[in-house]
Amino acid sequence: MSNFFEKSDLTRKDVDEIVSETLRNCDDGEIYFENSKSESILLDDNKIKSSNYSSDLGFGFRAVSDEVVAYSHSNEISKEALNDSAKNLKSTLQSIKGTYNHEIPKSNNKFYDDINPIEQKTLDAKLEVLNNVNDYLRKKDSTVKQVTASFSGEQKSIEIIRSGGEALTDVRPLIRFNVSVMLEKNGRKETGVYGIGGRQSYDEYLKNDNWKNVCEEALRIASVNLDSKPAPAGEMKVVLGPGWPAILIHEAIGHGLEGDFNRKKTSAFHDLMGQKVASEGVTIVDDGTIDKRRGSLTIDDEGTPTERTVLIENGILKNFMQDRLNARLMKTKSTGSGRRENYKHIVLPRMRNTMMLSGKQTQDEMIKSVDKGIFAVSFGGGQVDITSGKFVFNCTEAYEIINGKIGSPIKGATLIGDGPSILKEVSMIGNDMMMDPGIGTCGKAGQGVPVGVAQPSILIDKMTVGGTKL
């Protein structure tokens, strides 16, 4: 655990006093200290291209009154910096009369260990794995023209101090291992990318030479794309594979169910609570409590223990995801979804691990039922326009389906749909729910946070596929 005041002129008592005094007439607020250590090691073009270590320390001071948030952050931990921030907050929130809400739920659950993954594997050992990846892929296939492999690891320690002196702490490890390969055959180039990760040590993910499986998967995706044909254009049936394609759920539904957009009534879902928004059998949860997953958190960035929030149950909209501010204004409770990228940013309601639960059908049944459509196995990024509800995502591995059979691979195409109506087009739900491999980062208001997704195979009756072939 970090001692944030060890090398400063601050004592714990000073901090308590400044926080309590500043937040006296506020509805909520806290000071958030963060110490993060991170590394990234990159092999590219046959060489160790970069090896970077970073350490970052700072605090963010937040005062909340009614709907107004005043925020000030600094990377200097000193009495002077804290007092400057307090002065800045008070100047924004003059003549306010709130009552501070001291209530914050408690839990003894922990979803990861207090480890520092950077220190648990030597630099030499990391370099060896990266070089092995490069040699393995280049020997394996003569069409391999470029290999990029990387480790990134982080340990983030936080301490939240609330008015009255209550303190909440968390130590969060996070790692990711990534391989990207580019193939060239007959003048055509294609890439394949695969990665794994989560909140454990590197070696948990690299056991039994698991790096080879990561290489194989990246290579397989690139090889499939080398033989791909132009994608079709227009409306058709789409079968989504299990696991990572659940970023469709994340983009199409997840963002629209975040508390802030609904309090502000800018989400297409804001007046649909209790109504049918998806086909029968569709249940979607956002879960921060899955052991050691990338999107899991013991407590959120306001100190609330995370939970498993049911968003949609059997097609009916049940809950939004809430931080403390939006929960208070919407007269409900925080779901432990208050997150921030780091101390430089304000808290927003965000997703954790967003999952669509299994149904009863098989992927085979879905494919067989489609005369003309596509089978999408993996995706790159996605994006949504919260207000109109329109969302897109980009296929990185997809095939055409003709007369109930999987046909040729097709080139990366964008799929576009309408969030509030897409889940009503789900006509089959598979029995094969799978988590993604632990690679997702969600962006909102300029802040990136690690997230997870999961889903079974699903059949969507109608989506627009953005290929070039009419």
Partner 1 sequence: MIKDEEYLKSKASYCIDLAKKLGSTDVSVTIGNSISETVSFRNKVLDESNRSDSLAISIETYLGKKKSSISSSNLLDENLKTLIEKCCETTKITPDDEFNSLPDKELLAKNIKDLNLYDQSHIENDKKINYLKELEETASIDKKIINTESGFTENKSNFILANSDGFCNGYKSSSFTASCVTVAKNENSMERDYEFTSKCHLNDISNPSELGKSAAEQTIKKLNPKKIGSDKLSIIFDRRISKGFLSSFSGAISASSIARGTSFLKDKLNQPIFSNSINVIDKPDLIKGMGSKCFDSEGVKTDTLKLVSNGVLNNYLVDTYNGKKLNLKSNGRSGGSTNLYFENGSVSYDDLLKSHSKILYVTETIGHGTNLVTGDYSVGATGFLIENGEFKYPVNEITIAGNFNEMFKKITLANDLDFKYSVNSPTMMIDDMTVAGK
Q: How far is the CB of 423 from partner 1 (least distance, A)?
A: 16
How far apart CA 451 and CA 70 sit, in angstroms, is 27
- Cβ-based nearer residue to partner 1, 69 or 357: 69
Residue type (1 letter), 154? E
Q: How many C-beta neighbours within 10 Å does residue 285 have?
A: 20
- Cβ-based nearer residue to partner 1, 188 or 360: 188
- Cβ-based nearer residue to partner 1, 6 or 103: 6
Residue type (1 letter), 245? P
How far are the Cα atoms of 63, 129, 268, 419, 435 from residue 150, in angstroms, in the given order? 39, 10, 39, 34, 22
- Contact criterion met (CB below 8 Å) for 226 and 187: no
Closest CA to 312 of 343, 279, 337, 351: 279
- Cβ-based nearer residue to partner 1, 10 or 433: 10
Q: How far is the CB of 346 from partner 1 (least distance, A)?
A: 7
- Cβ-based nearer residue to partner 1, 214 or 222: 222
Q: How far is the CB of 167 from partner 1 (least distance, A)?
A: 22
Q: How far is the CB of 307 from partner 1 (least distance, A)?
A: 27
Which residues pair with residue 394 across a beta bridge?
Answer: 414
How far apart CA 417 and CA 409 sit, in angstroms, is 22
- For helices 123-140 and 210-226, give the axis angle rounded to 10 degrees: 40
- Cβ-based nearer residue to partner 1, 52 or 314: 52
Question: Can you point out the beta strands (E) in 88-205?
Answer: 144-162, 167-185, 188-198
Q: How far is the CB of 107 from partner 1 (least distance, A)?
A: 30
How far apart CA 365 and CA 430 sit, in angstroms, is 9
- Cβ-based nearer residue to partner 1, 197 or 256: 256
How far apart CA 462 and CA 171 sit, in angstroms, is 44
Q: Which helix (H) or strand (E) holds 327?
A: helix 324-329
How far apart CA 334 and CA 341 sit, in angstroms, is 19
DSSP state of 469: B
Q: How far is the CB of 340 from partner 1 (least distance, A)?
A: 12
- Contact criterion met (CB below 8 Å) for 354 and 453: yes
Q: How far is the CB of 344 from partner 1 (least distance, A)?
A: 6
Q: How far is the CB of 314 from partner 1 (least distance, A)?
A: 27
Q: How far is the CB of 345 from partner 1 (least distance, A)?
A: 9
- Cβ-based nearer residue to partner 1, 149 or 299: 149
Encoding tokens for residue 262? 């609904």
Q: How far is the CB of 53 from partner 1 (least distance, A)?
A: 5
What residues contact residue 152 under an 8 Å CB cut-off, 6+ apart?
38, 39, 40, 41, 175, 176, 178
CA atoms within 13 A on the CB side of 203: 9
- Cβ-based nearer residue to partner 1, 74 or 200: 74
Q: How far is the CB of 261 from partner 1 (least distance, A)?
A: 10
- Cβ-based nearer residue to partner 1, 48 or 357: 48
- Cβ-based nearer residue to partner 1, 320 or 379: 379
How far apart CA 194 and CA 199 sit, in angstroms, is 18
How far apart CA 408 and CA 70 sit, in angstroms, is 55
Sequence-ordered alpha helix ranges (H) in 93-198: 123-140
Q: Which residues of 30-61 are buried (b: 16+ CB within 10 A; e: fewer)?
A: bbbbbbbbbbebbbbeeebeeeeeeeebbbbb
